[in-house]
Structure 1
């Protein structure tokens, strides 16, 4: 007897075939990885094919893998992860695509496939600097328009680059370089030889 997850895996394999770079069934969820060149057509096929019929994009986010696994990650740095839902089949699927270039991460936009991708892609651009080819309004959505950098990148400084404050003389908000002195907090650890033993 095949399980629901095995049926999903078989349906996705039948629709996508060799375009699946990696497939992982873990913790009751199916995750597939596809190449950036195939990404847009794969998503259209997952939506339009009767065997999969993923009519909803639930979520889309960026990921920076640069320090994943304590720096042991060996692969492309930036990925876009999408979560799809098929109401018809009551299935969920996670699709991961890695941007081919770490210096300028670009993947295809899904706006023409699911309108819901609009703000998700803007968020991934704002926080990670991932560009979405074909997005007609790719601009910041969470940070200020004058913000420098992408705050969810692993190499972004914790204190940021600039701080803002209200200047009473100029009667406006002004930006200035960060004035906080960086410091390292090391927690004090108390160890007792026989702690917790009777």
Structure 2
């Protein structure tokens, strides 16, 4: 690089240009981080009851958005526990209704896995697409037009393809005695 009276000005000009370019691309990356998510259709939890050799659990499910249908529950455990029943089905779950399922865990004599002792409740279900579409179409709840349109398009495609949703929760347990 040449040195002289004009080269310092060129360097400063180039540095300023690069700084502006960097700031502009950082601003674009930040703008891309704003995304709406679909409202939750299902809320679920596992609660522990009193233990005496076996462990009593309760799976709790609640629909938060319309009537859910074809709910398939599956219960998985670490190797040191066994669950009865290992699965269940619910034909429909209406909004606001709470469904409770008693579960009994019994020790198997095996050792826990690398995560420890746990039980996992998984649920597959068909959401209430008309209710979901009505919710995500609301400009008050979803004011960004582009994001609202993206949610509506995704929900419409999912409805046409009959996409089933999945959700899961895991509860870590004390090791069996």
Instruction: Calculate the TM-score normalised by the size of structure 2.
Output: 0.23
Normalized per residue, which structure has more helix? Answer: 2
If asked which structure has higher relative contact order (CA below 8 Å, sep 6+), I would say: 2
Instruction: Calculate the TM-score normalised by the size of structure 1.
Output: 0.22
> Who wins on radius of gyration, i.e. which is larger?
2
